[in-house]
Chain A
Amino acid sequence: MTRIALRALLRAAPVLFVTAAVTFLLGAFAKQEPADLLLGEAATPEAVAELNHELGRDRPLVVQFGTWIWDALHGDLGESWFTGIPITTTIADRLPVSLSIAGAALAIAVIIGGGAGLLAAIRRGSWIDTTVTVVASTLATLPPFVVSILLILLFGVAIPILPTGGYTPFTQDPAGWLACIILPAIALSLEAAADIARQLRTALVHTYDANFIRGALLRGLSPARVLFRHALPHAAGPALSVIGIQVPRLVGGAIIAEQIFSLPGLGLMAYNGATQGDMPVVLGSVMVIVVVVLISTFVIDLLLTVLNPHERTAARAAVRTTPPTAARAAVGTTASAGSRTKRTTA
């Protein structure tokens, strides 16, 4: 467990550093001059220089970046160049909005996509399978904003039962919160649901081709038991990996949903910051999104580890530090190390 957490941290640190550096570098090349917006076109060069000094923009890039990292490590993400509001305050306001939408979208995607993939796989070749495949392929071609428009037309214009904009915090009114996030979450979830359904179906069909499934059935076990105990844990890996790929898209894609449903989330924060050239805002929001993505990746890695018997036995060996088993068993483990690499690359 500690080993896995340590490994995750080791992988997360460079990712955070690289993304921060790239974002920072982009800011340096930005076309927008904050002075233009803050002081207007007519500002004197002296006033501009003073402002840039105030914002710390006259120092060398490396120093600026180093300072930002140092402060960030101490929980200070700076202040907006325009409003002067601390970034952490803005994030605290907006993070719940983004997490609500992305979380709800993920839940919908897993339930609908997982269920559809499972059904399609166990009834493969039937009309259910065909329907799932066709619907999933169609959904994958739908841009999330088109879905959003359709949903607004349906539930906002035709049958106006749900709000099509705005946000109510969960702590104020749970029912209102649900009403606010349900449409954006659905709009956002469909692509992920389609992807999960397709991956789970493929993985399950593939698993059902394996000898060990045939073997379990030939041992007289019931088909339901074989599905849930033998096939599903084996096929869940690829579907989980898809979720790992979809999470950044859900968190990042929220920007579209936020725009259409006018929700005050992190995506819009990054977008508005970028159009104004407000670097602390861009940096702060992008980094928080990256951290959310890294945490979810870590959770998925953890689940994948639990599903992998090689990892489990490795952990057990580490805990017990039992003497090496017979030479045969040792041969077996080296051979299986090869199959593990194969599985991860697949």
Chain B
Amino acid sequence: MTTTVIAPESARVTTEAHERRPALSVRGLRVRYGSREVLSGIDLRVAPGEIVGLIGESGSGKTSLARAVLGLVPVAAGSVEVDGQDVSTFTRGRWQSFRRSGSAQYVFQDPLSSLDSRFTVRASVLEGLRETLPRTEAEDRAARALRTVGLAETLWDRRPGQLSGGQRQRVAIARATAVSPKLLICDEPVSALDASSRIEVVRTLETIARAGTGVLIISHDLSSLGAIADRVSVLNEAQIVESGPAAEVLGSPRHPYTRRLIDAIPTI
């Protein structure tokens, strides 16, 4: 069932994506904390409209990768290109204007902590837009983003505490996509949610990708990735040990670590 949804999508990606600028292109990335290297030579590519899954356990370096792409930790070596711009050389001021342009956005694991509990849905989504746009235009864009994630207009004046887990996470996605990013990075977007909320968030991410945004999902949970990712990369001890189409990597893993990871998942 999942494969039939993805098949035409990935076909389009493979033909078009390589002609367009990649949403994210990481080459030989190294990140160090003091003397400890948490990423040693990472290569990763996300094409526009593609969903890439990055799998790793805690301590594998997957969060550092996201933080390096977003300029939250310094890059020791290698290049990180977001929509064709090499961000690894950015200065502080350059980062500010880059962020305001909204090229790369981030969705946190737990929407309850990433949304200000005092802000209404509308105010949260408007926050980033109001930095660059006049009020009416910003409101139009926010409304469009909220409709894209399928959030009914009756919910727009509620606060996070009055929404379900899935609705909250869709607000967080709307806030990130309202500024029309080329790249959307999601850190464990469904791990904090109950099973019933997972489907709605996963479907929302598929919609976002179909509209042309490159989506990178970082997770330790292979099962949620397997359902939506076009390609996956497996990160272990600072290095990518295996990448390829999701069905191939998860269905018939070649690297022993990937196999161990998949075997560790309890089955029904």
Contact = CB atoms under 8 A, between A and B. Distances in A.
A146 interface: no
A331 B33 CA distance: 12
Interface string A307-334: 0000000000000000000011011001
A327 B33 CA distance: 13
Interface residues of B, number: 5
B237 A327 contact: yes
B58 A331 contact: yes
Nearest to A334: B33
A330 B58 CA distance: 12
Interface residues of A, number: 5
A330 B33 CA distance: 12
Interface string B222-262: 00000000000000010000000000000000000000000
B16 to A, nearest CB: 40
A330 B36 CA distance: 10
Contacts of B33: 334
B28 interface: no
Contacts of A327: 59, 237
B97 to A, nearest CB: 31
Interface string B22-43: 0000000000010010000000
A160 B58 CA distance: 72
Nearest to A324: B36
Contacts of B59: 327-328, 331
Contacts of A334: 33
B260 to A, nearest CB: 16
A277 B61 CA distance: 65
A195 to B, nearest CB: 33
A226 to B, nearest CB: 31
A318 B219 CA distance: 36
Contacts of A331: 58-59
A321 B152 CA distance: 60
Contacts of A330: 36
A252 to B, nearest CB: 41
Nearest to B59: A331
Contacts of B237: 327
Interface of B: 33, 36, 58-59, 237
7 contacts: A327-B59, A327-B237, A328-B59, A330-B36, A331-B58, A331-B59, A334-B33
A-B pairs, 7 with minimum CB distance: A331-B59, A327-B59, A330-B36, A331-B58, A328-B59, A327-B237, A334-B33
